[in-house]
Amino acid sequence: MTKPRPNWSHTPYQKGHLARGGKLDLFRRGEQAPTARLDEQAVRQIRESDKPDSYWAKRYGVTSPTIHRARTGKSWSHIQ
């Protein structure tokens, strides 16, 4: 038996935006996320650096996999 899908309701603005072919941006990206510990400057610095992920993880108080995802573009993909 399948679970019933939740009944998500959108605001009138969101419905109009969707009707015009728009995409809802339900999640905040980058620094706008309330739990973000990195910022755009830090991500650019990490990507340009040859220092190991563990160095940056200690510096910013995050895990090495978080730094790896930022460095490889799996997260913070909107930063060039």
- Mean pLDDT split into 10-residue runs, the chain, 80 residues: 62 68 67 83 96 96 95 89
pLDDT at 79: 86
Report residue 67 as tokens.
């730094």
pLDDT at 72: 94
The whole-model pTM stands at 0.64
pLDDT at 31: 77
Displacement of CA 2 from its chain's centroid (Å):
30
pLDDT at 29: 75
CB 46 within 8 A of CB 75: no
pLDDT at 35: 78
Q: Which residue pairs, CB below 8 angstroms and at least 24 apart, start in 23-30?
A: 29/78, 30/76, 30/78, 30/79
pLDDT at 24: 60
